[in-house]
Amino acid sequence: MIEIRFHGRGGQGTVVASKLLATSLFLDGKYSQSFPAFGTERRGAPVTAFLRVDDKPVRIRTEIYEPDHIVILDPLLVDQVPLTDGLKRDGIVIINSSRKPMEFADRFKGFKVATVPAGQIAVKHHLGTPQSPIVNTAILGAVAKVLSIVTMENLIEAIKSDVPSKADENAAAAQEAYKTVSDVVQL
Amino acid sequence: MKYTDRQVHVPLCSVSTTSSLVNKTGTWKSAQPLFIDRVSPCNQQCPAGEDITGYMYLVGQGRYEEAWRLIMEENPFPAIMGRVCFHTCEERCNRTEHDDAVSIHMVERFIGDYGLANSLRITVPGPERKERVAIVGAGPAGLTAAYHLRKMGNGVSIFDSNQKPGGMMRYGIPSYRLPKEVLDGEISRLDEMGVEFKIAVKVGKDVTWDSLDNEFEAVFMGIGAWEETSLGIEGLNKKGIYNALEFLEDINLGKEPKIGKRIAVIGGGNSAIDCARVSRRLGAEATIVYRRSEAEMPAHTEEIEMAREEGVRFLFLASPKAIYGEETVAGVKLEKMALGEMDDSGRRRPVPTGETFDIDCDGMITAIGEATRVGDLPPFTSHRGGVVEADRMGQTTHLRFFAGGDIIDIPHTVTHAIGSGKRAAVAIDRFLRGIENDKDSPDQFTWGESGTINLAWLKGTSLFCRRNPSLEVVDYTDMNPFYFDCLPGVKTKRIPVDERLKGFQEVSEPFSEEEVISEARRCFNCGSCTECGNCCIFCPENSIKRDPDGYGYVADMDFCKGCGICVNECPRGAMTMKLME
Amino acid sequence: MRKVLTGNQAVAYGAMLSDVQVVAAYPITPQTTIIEELADMQAEGLADLDYIRVESEHSAMAACIGASMGGVRTFTATCGQGLFLMHEMLHYATGARTPVVLANVNRAIAAPWSIWSDQTDSVSQRETGWIQLYCEGNQEVLDTTIMAFKIAESLRLPAMVILDAFFLSHTSEPIEIPDIEAVRDFLPPYDPGDLWLDPDNPRTFGSLCMPDTYMEFRWQIQRDMERAKQVIDEVQDDFGRVFGRNYRQVEGYRSDDADVVMVVSGTVASTGRDAIDFLRARGEGVGMVKIKTLRPFPRQELVAALRGKKKVAVIDRNFSPGATGVWAQEIRSALYELPEDERPIIYGYIAGLGGRDISIKTIEEIYQKTREADQPDDVDIWIGVNYV
């Protein structure tokens, strides 16, 4: 079983990201489970969502305390939330950032990091506003590339069938992120 | 023993063993609901007897042609009416107690224009009867009488001394209030209905009253009031002095009256306002001189307001005493007036103070009232100072002669003239059919307390099925205002003042279709069942059902227990409780 | 068809597939998306139902009772405070014998305000005469919704489908959506017999009942609740035959040869399976029993499952102030009929109130405490409370 924790802010599509990934994995023939950290979602407030995937049905129904990987939709959370709590030693951190992975050496020492400019990609594809881009589909493209747990084909299918609007733009954002995400760097 | 092995002798849940229909709750009542169609205050107020609530209902559903036909049952000129009527209906509208009155006249104007734009026609068969009726005077009263008589199957000839029909609507009302093409369009429909027009024929001169008396079975007189009341002071023959009627007639004939640059208009009625507003359009300054104060002015408030917008000045509590000037008027000597006791009209009487002052002017228009030219009346007509003696239906002392419009004792408005023409048409038709009109007969077919005639009511063809019709007028306290949101009314828009003063373009802009529908839907339809279903929904005994035979609902008296909830929940006062004995 | 659905969507699909005819509901977190989904289904023409918007949960249940009396299949959903507001009408639905189905998303009771999961809302409705069916996963939620209509309608008793707030309501997972025609075969249209409000033959329902007949009506409710145990089994068996998924009122998991048995309900049963596997792998003699029905209470099945066990640890995500967790009360009472030598020692644990996570670690801690103590420290033991 692989467990992934998503960190973002209300309005960025964090919960939808976890659900889209669950659907993509389901299309891949896996057993998946996704859910938000249960709270009252408000725009701008830190939001956490979870994803589990396995080859057999997922029975455990608790929050994820020791994730295999984490996905960070808002780079500013790095200084505000204890993101790596419980993250396994081999865990990969995927961050929405236009900076290079090495620039996070202080924050994520000992972990593997990949960065993707998901915000810029979202703006380019008119997802959300420049002040508040919706980065969830772009970051999933990066997840697909970096973690190799889901096929791009099924990710695109999930996006096209499940996003409430701008299906093609969202799919294009995921494709672009898939191509532009950095290599994974051990810090 | 196990549960499953035992039984009890009651049903699964508590339920009556017999149908509840055996319980005739109807025996409990001491009062019963009555579906009653009452008169709305607007309908009651309408001098032309229109079914306003009815056409508001139709317009609200986008049924414009049906609305037009409903108006045409009563009044042949909806496009004219929507423009020149002073819409006293809106003053009585129950909606004024709620938010704003419904803009009835603008809806009517829309419907009238819809009829013109779509060339809607009233088709009538040829005259069914050999009797013919002569109409003298093609003003609003005469045209209306002709229209209704023609619809009732009578042959009609209409005589008028002017070059074109329309009377005061054509020669007295400026075209910024009533465009001539609207007037022509509405009158032309009468032509197509087979009304014979004898234009430029002056009865009493070109043909004699006696010949009409001999040739026609009945005669309607609607010759109007074309004589301006004299101010009764010296110097009225000076140049630059007009009376309102000749001034407005010149304007309407397209002539340019020779009038100065500073005009004093004497009078406080609608004609005075018309003269002042026309003067402004001719590039002159205009001051209205009125002997009482603004509150007593007979002119309509909106007219006064528009005159003010257009720069007309007002001088109140002043009465002309003398006219200055050699050949041409140069000024007026005015006496200051004060307000005294109430007079017969319920307004405070002007009392001279003896104090005078002068104003300069180079033109003057007198507009203090108009009367019938006594010489134009047939010699056998009984009248008092030009006001023809007639009963409530318009029949004169010379029984084959009927009268209407400004020559009888009613307010001098187009709408009242139309109402009088319709009344006389009903009376003439009955007269020709040999039905006696006694003094009580109008009560059989007048609508509301003021006694206007609604023909659909009379014929039983009203839009809302009139069951238990009542002449009682519904007021706001009879409504259930809970069912009506407060929605401000659409305001009439007027073209900018500088546009207005450039010519005689119509001042009020029409409502858009959306505005018309939203206004029509604001109508409470006071007193009329619109089949909203509230009575049915709220009845706790389920005793009210749709009437299987027609319009509206019926209460099953076997089960109605007389609680009165239906009456309470009727939004529009179309139900009442009747005590049983 | 398989699809990734949240628990709330699963409820809505269950109701839609059951051809529910009237829905009257009021929104409340975390239930709202159930009725939003149904409203969408109606708007899109996917469900042919009348949707009644009401001003409160009390009215929602009143409207459902009225609709059900009208002879149609009726559904609503609520949670927590909403269920409390419905309380009076819950009793009424039973007495009126209206087979309304209600989905309750278990939400903790205020004050203090909480939107997170615990069972105090539904267990507080124990005496209302509603059948209560607790679920551990989204598939069970969907399947149970369909079965609930069949159970309720054949008994003319209302039924509640219960799912944990967020742990199910907002968790997405792939589930099998049955074919609607197969559901229609399994669940024919509701037939109210001759007990319904027929406008052509109006009768008075629920009128005043004199002392000489009241008890008879209440007795029938109890008789049918007893009968419900058998009906639920039959419906679950039918469902298993048609759809291949089997549910039991009482289900053991590796409990046959266990000395210590944990008794659980709701999502704890799902996590519990992983916990038991984890503990078993360590060599512990532990098993689990999942109870699906609080009402009717499956007394005999439970006695059979727990007879002769040494220790039983009951995990209650609810509690009754002044007594113990409600499941523990019920189990103590049921097991009292066993002879003393076959009667296990009951350990009552209160855990996971207000949405506090019950993780594998929590279950491990409960097991540890049960194994180590010869007798429970107290009538119940609160897990995870931060004492000073």
Whole-complex ipTM? 0.90
**Chain A interface includes C174 (CB < 8 A):** yes
Segment C40-67 mean pLDDT = 97
**C chain contacts of residue B542, beta-carbon cutoff 8 Å:** 199, 202
Segment C127-144 mean pLDDT = 98
Residue B550 has pLDDT above 90, yes or no: no
CB C268 within 8 A of CB C303: no
* CA B91, B93, B96, B101 torsion-angle sign: negative
Query: CATH 3.30.70.3270 in chain B, residues?
Result: 21-37+529-579
pLDDT at site B191: 92
Residue C383 has pLDDT above 90, yes or no: yes
pLDDT at site B470: 80
pLDDT at site B440: 61
Write down all domains in chain A, each with its CATH number in brackets. Answer: 2-186 (3.40.920.10)
**C chain contacts of residue B6, beta-carbon cutoff 8 Å:** 223
**A chain contacts of residue C355, beta-carbon cutoff 8 Å:** 38
pLDDT at site A10: 86
**C chain contacts of residue B16, beta-carbon cutoff 8 Å:** 203-205, 207
Enumerate neighbours of B (3 or more CB pairs within 8 A): C
pLDDT at site B115: 97
Residue B275 has pLDDT above 60, yes or no: yes
Separation in Å, CA of A103 to nearest CA in chain C? 35
Residue written as token pair 């289900």: C251
Q: Which chain C residues in 90-109 lie under 8 Å from chain B, judged by CB atoms?
A: 95-97
**A chain contacts of residue C166, beta-carbon cutoff 8 Å:** 35-36, 38
| pLDDT tens digits, C150-159 | 999 999 999 9
Q: What is d(CA B57, CA B517) in angstroms, rounded to the nearest whole number?
A: 10
CATH number belonging to domain B21-37+529-579: 3.30.70.3270
Residue B445 has pLDDT above 70, yes or no: no
Where do the domains of chain C lie? 2-243, 250-382
Segment C347-354 mean pLDDT = 97
| pLDDT tens digits, A88-114 | 988 999 999 999 999 999 889 999 999
Q: What is d(CA B323, CA B335) in angstroms, rounded to the nearest whole number?
A: 12
| pLDDT tens digits, B76-106 | 999 999 999 999 999 999 999 999 999 999 9
pLDDT at site A45: 85
Segment C101-122 mean pLDDT = 96
Topology adopted by domain C2-243: Rossmann fold (3.40.50)
**Chain A interface includes C29 (CB < 8 A):** yes
Structure tokens at C180: 């609607």
Say what percent of chain B tops pLDDT 70.
Answer: 97
Sort C81 into a burial class: Cβ within 10 Å, 0-12 / 13-18 / 19+: middle
Amino acid at B171: Y
Q: Comparing B128-137, B249-258, B467-476, B483-492, which segment has the lowest mean pLDDT?
A: B467-476
Considering chain C, what is the average pLDDT of its residues?
96
pLDDT at site B169: 96
Q: Do C358 and A34 touch (CB under 8 A)?
A: no
**C chain contacts of residue B21, beta-carbon cutoff 8 Å:** 202
| pLDDT tens digits, C78-89 | 999 999 999 999
Q: Which chain A residues in 65-124 lie under 8 Å from chain C, judged by CB atoms?
A: 65
pLDDT at site B441: 63
Residue B194 has pLDDT above 70, yes or no: yes
Label residue C281 by pLDDT band (50, 70, 90): very high
CATH-assigned architecture of domain B230-368: 3-Layer(bba) Sandwich (3.50)
Residue B208 has pLDDT above 90, yes or no: yes
| pLDDT tens digits, B351-364 | 999 999 999 999 99
pLDDT at site B126: 76
| pLDDT tens digits, B472-488 | 889 999 999 999 999 99
- Pick from A32, A61, A65: CB nearest C167: A61
Label residue B463 by pLDDT band (50, 70, 90): confident
Which stretches does DSSP call E strand in B180-237? 196-199, 218-221, 227-228
Q: Do A33 and C2 touch (CB under 8 A)?
A: no
pLDDT at site B451: 65
Report CA Rg, chain A: 15
CATH-assigned architecture of domain B132-226+372-437: 3-Layer(bba) Sandwich (3.50)
Are chains A and B touching, using the cut-off of 8 Å on CB pairs and a minimum of 3 such pairs? Answer: no
Query: CATH 3.50.50.60 in chain B, residues?
Result: 132-226+372-437, 230-368
CATH number belonging to domain C250-382: 3.40.50.920
Q: Do C199 and B8 touch (CB under 8 A)?
A: no
Closest C-alpha among C153, C97, C173 to residue C129: C97
Sort A54 into a burial class: Cβ within 10 Å, 0-12 / 13-18 / 19+: middle
Q: Do C207 and B16 touch (CB under 8 A)?
A: yes
CB neighbour list of residue C380: distance below 8 Å, 6 or more residues apart: C316, C319, C324, C325, C328, C348, C349, C350
* CA C195, C198, C202, C208 torsion-angle sign: positive
Q: Do C217 and B10 touch (CB under 8 A)?
A: yes
**Chain B interface includes C198 (CB < 8 A):** no
**Chain C interface includes B1 (CB < 8 A):** no
Q: Do B13 and C223 touch (CB under 8 A)?
A: no
Residue B449 has pLDDT above 60, yes or no: no
Q: What is d(CA B468, CA B577) in angstroms, rounded to the nearest whole number?
A: 13
**Chain C interface includes B6 (CB < 8 A):** yes
| pLDDT tens digits, B153-172 | 999 999 999 999 999 999 99
- Site from B15, B19, B536, B546 to mutate, C interface, most C CB atoms within 10 angstroms: B15
- For residue C230, the chain B residue with the least C-alpha distance is B4
pLDDT at site B351: 94
CB B509 within 8 A of CB B516: no
| pLDDT tens digits, A52-90 | 999 999 999 999 999 999 999 999 898 888 899 999 988
